Structure 1
Amino acid sequence: MNGKKKFTISMISNEQSLQQNTTSNDQNWDAVIESKHSLFAINFKELWHYRDLLVLFVRRDFVTVYKQTILGPLWFFIQPILTTITFTVIFGNVAQLSTDGAPKVVFYMAGITLWGYFSSCLTSVSGVFNANAGIFGKVYFPRLIMPLTIVISNLMKFLVQFLLFVCFAVYFYSMGQIQPNLWILALPLVIVLMALIAMGIGLILSAMTTKYKDLNQLISFGMQLFMYATPVIYPSSAIPEKYQWIANMNPLAGLFDYMRYAFLGVGTFDWWGFIYPSIFAVVVLFFGILVFNKVQKTFMDTV
């Protein structure tokens, strides 16, 4: 009996010693990996740390999109040219929509250039979770890298198409048909605002598409309708006076008016065309990042 008691006491002593050692080891870890559950836990410093990955993704997008095409990057020029011709024939000649006296070709090309960048960014960002579910589930990196990649990749396409627009604008300027002004120096701000608005709305929609796949179809259709609610193919002056307040609620309206006023010298533009889109861009991007940050922790369960 004494031997059994000694053995039992010895076992209890060993268990207590093991628990003490485990507790001691738990308190002396070199690093502790924990999940950040805070909605505002956004590490922007980490995004800068992964900047090389961002460059790699941008290069990948630029190379792979046209890698197996015959014309390659020439599609950057072909698409806006064909779209401009279509708009000129249908809306300019057939429908006889006003262009505020500007040549139809550069009028439509100005709108197409801006709209192409905005719609491409928003549509691609809204599907970022579904499109990258494979890589998101295998390796860790800041998920915001992918939306940023989309915005920068489309910016390269925009710059190529904008160069084409400038060539047409220079030609019509030499013919004395347009009158650019110093507002053209504000173009970088307009591009930034377009990118922020597209990214903010896209981030909000991306969170919704993880649960509701039908939204992907609705977004494509909705973008087509939204184009007609934005002065892409018509000037703001063509909107009846009683509906102007509705048109002014669109944060993109002022930016398209700017494009025509600065480069073509037609229409009107004021500071509110910058102030309102700037406020809207900050607000929608803020909420977009918050929603994106919340959904990225659990989206693999629903994708």
Structure 2
Amino acid sequence: MKDYDLIIRPKRHAFDINFKEIWSYRDLLKMFVKRDIITVYKQTILGPIWFIVQPVLTSLMMMMVFGRIAKISTDGTPQILFYLAGVTIWNYFSESFNTTAKTFTENANIFGKVYFPRLIMPFAKVTSGLIKFGIQFTLFLLVYCYYLFAQEGSVNPNWTIALLPVYILLMAMFGLGAGIIFTSWTTKYRDLTFLLTFGVQLLMYASPVIYPVSTIEPGLMKDILMLNPFTPILEGFKYAFLGAGHFSWASLGYSAIVATVILFLGIIIFHKTERNFIDTV
């Protein structure tokens, strides 16, 4: 009897997910991450600087439109910090969701020729997005340190800064889970791709990115806003660094539960779709 390094077996049901096999392909994961970071900006003039330009321009536009013209409150915090904080943490979800939502359609040729755990691809997108987030977060910290030391009292950080890894993890879970659900649906319903950019933009305005929860009067609208699982994350992130916002363990636990459910459903749906998607893509 010969010993084999690889044994290919049929997948019996949607819950038959081999996470050990995914771990064994971690070198491939690293390769995809490197590809996403290097090749995307290889032939651009500014390169990774685009990671910095985008949040800066977005925050300046928000300052002009929502701060100066609409005069929306920022809870007494510096406008540039308030908008930069919201944009930085939101961009990680947006980037993760937008890239993983195209997993099947953009990689159909690779999936049809070479075998590897398909979940490696969306995991790589979320991981490479973490590097981009790190660059943008560094920019936020530079601006933050200026106000913290040069203008004392303008920001009031607190102990919840220690929860930063939790906020990042939850955004990654939302981006990965929602993205792989979306890409699984688009294998049959291609017109859903037209809703991608519009849907993320609409969701941003439905979340406290450009406004604090405190500006919403108590009532139905505020109750709906608090049901948004992104609200505790965005408000908690701002509360940790700026000292203005809303934080509660119950709200954060609610977001964690929703993120876990979405990720779990996403993996199950993705796993079920990958078995026959090549016939429909």
* 1:234 has 2:211 as partner: yes
* 1:169 has 2:180 as partner: no
* 1:52 has 2:52 as partner: no
Matched ranges for 1:190-205 at <5 A: 190-205=167-182
Distance in structure 1 (CA, Å) of the matches to 2:264 and 2:50: 34
* 1:298 has 2:258 as partner: no
Distance in structure 2 (CA, Å) of the matches to 1:65 and 1:272: 40
Count of aligned residue pairs for this structure pair: 276
Distance in structure 1 (CA, Å) of the matches to 2:26 and 2:197: 30
The answer as to whether partners of 1:193 and 1:281 remain within 8 angstroms in 2 is: yes
Q: Give the CA deviation at 1:240.
A: 2.1
Partner in structure 2 of residue 181 of structure 1: 158
Alignment match of 2:183 (pick from 199, 206, 211)? 206
Partner in structure 2 of residue 94 of structure 1: 69
Distance in structure 1 (CA, Å) of the matches to 2:245 and 2:207: 15
Identity %: 49
1:44-68 CA distance string (max 9 Å, x none):
0001100000001000110011100
Q: Give the CA deviation at 1:219.
A: 1.6
* 1:269 has 2:269 as partner: no
Distance in structure 1 (CA, Å) of the matches to 2:242 and 2:111: 45
Structure 1 stretches of at least 4 aligned residues deviating more than 6 Å after TM superposition: 28-32
Partner in structure 1 of residue 56 of structure 2: 81
Partner in structure 1 of residue 83 of structure 2: 108
Letter matched to residue 258 of structure 2: F
The answer as to whether partners of 2:232 and 2:246 remain within 8 angstroms in 1 is: no
The answer as to whether partners of 1:258 and 1:273 remain within 8 angstroms in 2 is: no
Distance in structure 1 (CA, Å) of the matches to 2:2 and 2:193: 45
The answer as to whether partners of 1:87 and 1:233 remain within 8 angstroms in 2 is: yes
More divergent stretch after superposition (131-140 vs 271-280): 271-280
Letter matched to residue 193 of structure 2: N
Distance in structure 2 (CA, Å) of the matches to 1:251 and 1:158: 20
Distance in structure 1 (CA, Å) of the matches to 2:27 and 2:131: 17
Q: Give the CA deviation at 1:77.
A: 1.0
State the Cα RMSD in Å. 1.3
Distance in structure 2 (CA, Å) of the matches to 1:33 and 1:202: 28
Partner in structure 1 of residue 230 of structure 2: 252
Q: Give the CA deviation at 1:34.
A: 3.3
* 1:286 has 2:264 as partner: yes
The answer as to whether partners of 2:96 and 2:176 remain within 8 angstroms in 1 is: yes
Q: Give the CA deviation at 1:33.
A: 4.0
1:74-122 CA distance string (max 9 Å, x none):
1111111111110101110011001000000000000000111101111
Partner in structure 2 of residue 35 of structure 1: 10
Partner in structure 1 of residue 194 of structure 2: 217
Q: Give the CA deviation at 1:181.
A: 1.0
Letter matched to residue 118 of structure 1: F
Letter matched to residue 179 of structure 2: G
1:205 to 1:280, Cα distance in 2 relative to 1, 3 A: same
How high is the TM-score relative to the length of structure 2?
A: 0.95
Q: Secondary structure at the match of 2:121?
A: helix
Distance in structure 2 (CA, Å) of the matches to 1:186 and 1:119: 20
Partner in structure 2 of residue 16 of structure 1: none
Partner in structure 2 of residue 125 of structure 1: 100
Structure 2 unaligned segments of length 5 or more: list them: none
